[in-house]
Amino acid sequence: MTIKSVIQNYSKVKMAFTPTPIYKLSRLSSHLGHNIYIMRDDLTGFAIGGNKIRKLEYLIGDALKKKAQVLITSGATSFSRNAAAAGSAFGFDVHIFIVGDEAKQNSAGQVLFGLLDTKLHFIPEKKKETLVEEISKLKTLLEEKGQLVYELHPGGSDEIGTVSYINAFDEIIQFSRKNSIHFNTIIVTTGSAATQAGLVLGQCIEGYETTVLGMAIARPADFQKNRIQDLIERTAKMLGIRWDENKIMVDDRFIGPGYPLPSKESQEAMKIFASLEGVLLDAIYTGKSAAGLIHYASNGLFAKKDNILFIHTGGNFGMFY
C-alpha cells in the first residue's frame, strides 16, 4: 500500500506549485548544532499561499465533482481569504460569515475580500452563538433557489482537506529517498488539525519511522490531540486504512499568551530565522512552532545526528491580524 494508491481517487485542482522546496538551513543548523531542514509550504504560490492552498486543491476539486456553485465558510482567516481567491478562480460565488464588528476588521483583509467579490456576513460578537444557525439559513435559502452549496470547514480541516497533507507526506518521502536523508523528526504548527492529521496518516500508510511533532498555537495538548485523533479516525475510515494512535504528538508549551497573540519566544524565533536564513515567519503560527524547534535543539532534545524537518506552513506574515 502506498500513499498514491490510497488517495488516487480523490479529485483535486491545480493551484499550488508543488512539490515545494525542501532544503537544509545551513546557518541555522550551525547556530543550533543540529541538521535543520525546511519544507517551504509558504511558497505554494496561489493567493496569499501557505498550507491552506494544498487543502483547497482537494476541497475545490470535491466541490466541482459535486457540481456545487456556491462556497460558504466562516472566519477572517488565511483559510477564508485563500478560499475566496480559489472560489473566484474556479467560478464559485463565495459567502463568508465573520463574527465581529465590520468596522473593527483588518483593513487589508477587507480590501482583499473586496477585490475577490466575496460576500461577507457579519454577526455581532454578542450573537456569535448563532453562527451555525445563520450559515444554515443561508444555505437553505440558496438551495431553495436551485444553487448547490459546498460548505468549507474552518481551516479546511475535514476529511478531504486532510488528504492534501497525506499527499504532502509523499513529497517528503520522495525527497528523503532521492537524497538519502531520513527525517527523524518533523515539526509542524498544529491548529485546526488537518495538516498534522494528514502527515500522521501519510507516515502510517508508508511505514516511515519518524516523529511528527505538532507545536500547538491555541489549545492545550490533550484537547489538540483529541481534535487530531477525531479527524484522523474519520479520514482513515473514509480511506479504509489503519493507523497508529501513538503517532499523535503535541507540545503546547509555546502557545504564549494565547491565540491570536504573539509570544516573546515566537518573536525571537522570527528574528533568528530571518537574520540567519532570510526566511520570514509570523508570530502567531510558524513563529511559535519555530520557537518550539529552537527550544528542542537548544536543550538536547534531538540527537546530534538527527535530521529535523520544519514545515513552514506560511499564510499571513502578520499582515491580516
- pLDDT per residue as tens digits for the range 118-140: 999 999 999 999 999 999 999 99
Q: Return the percentage of the chain with pLDDT > 70, whole number.
A: 98
Using an 8 Å Cβ cutoff, are 230 and 196 in contact? no
Q: What is the pLDDT of residue 315?
A: 74
Q: What is the pLDDT of residue 103?
A: 76
pTM of the predicted model as reported, rounded to 2 decimal places: 0.96
Hey, what CATH topology would domain 3-51+157-312 get? Rossmann fold (3.40.50)
Q: What is the pLDDT of residue 170?
A: 98
Q: What is the pLDDT of residue 204?
A: 98
pLDDT band per the 50, 70, 90 thresholds, residue 316: low
- pLDDT per residue as tens digits for the range 15-59: 999 999 999 999 999 999 999 999 999 999 999 999 999 999 999
The ranges assigned to domains in the chain are 3-51+157-312, 52-155
Nearest CA to 160 out of 208, 94, 108, 231 is that of: 231
State the chain's mean pLDDT as an integer.
95
Give φ, ψ of 35 to 5 degrees: -85, 100
Nearest CA to 290 out of 144, 304, 303, 276 is that of: 276
Q: Is the pLDDT of residue 156 over 80?
A: yes
Which grid cell sits at 69?
A: 456553485
Q: Is the pLDDT of residue 321 over 60?
A: no
pLDDT band per the 50, 70, 90 thresholds, residue 61: very high
* Helical packing angle, 159-179 and 221-239, nearest 10°: 90
249-251: strand order across its sheet: 22-24, 35-40, 307-312, 185-190, 211-216, 249-251
Using an 8 Å Cβ cutoff, are 214 and 222 in contact? no
- pLDDT per residue as tens digits for the range 174-226: 999 999 999 999 999 999 999 999 999 999 999 999 999 999 999 999 999 99
Q: Is the pLDDT of residue 105 over 90?
A: no
| Cβ neighbour number for residue 52 with a 10 Å cutoff | 34
Q: Is the pLDDT of residue 144 over 80?
A: yes
Q: Environment class of residue 139 by beta-carbon count within 10 Å: exposed (0-12), middle (13-18) or buried (19+)?
A: middle
Cα 321 from chain centroid? 17
Using an 8 Å Cβ cutoff, are 273 and 281 in contact? yes
For residue 5, is it left (φ>0), alpha (ψ between -120 and 50) or beta? Answer: alpha
Distance CA 64, CA 182 (A): 37
- Its CATH architecture, for the domain 52-155, is 3-Layer(aba) Sandwich (3.40)
Q: What is the pLDDT of residue 260?
A: 87
CA geometry: angle 230, 235, 240, nearest 5 deg: 125
Q: Do domains 3-51+157-312 and 52-155 have the same CATH topology?
A: yes
Q: Environment class of residue 16 by beta-carbon count within 10 Å: exposed (0-12), middle (13-18) or buried (19+)?
A: buried
pLDDT band per the 50, 70, 90 thresholds, residue 282: very high
Look up residue 41 and give its amino acid.
D
Q: What is the pLDDT of residue 104?
A: 81
Q: Is the pLDDT of residue 90 over 70?
A: yes
CB neighbour list of residue 5: distance below 8 Å, 6 or more residues apart: none
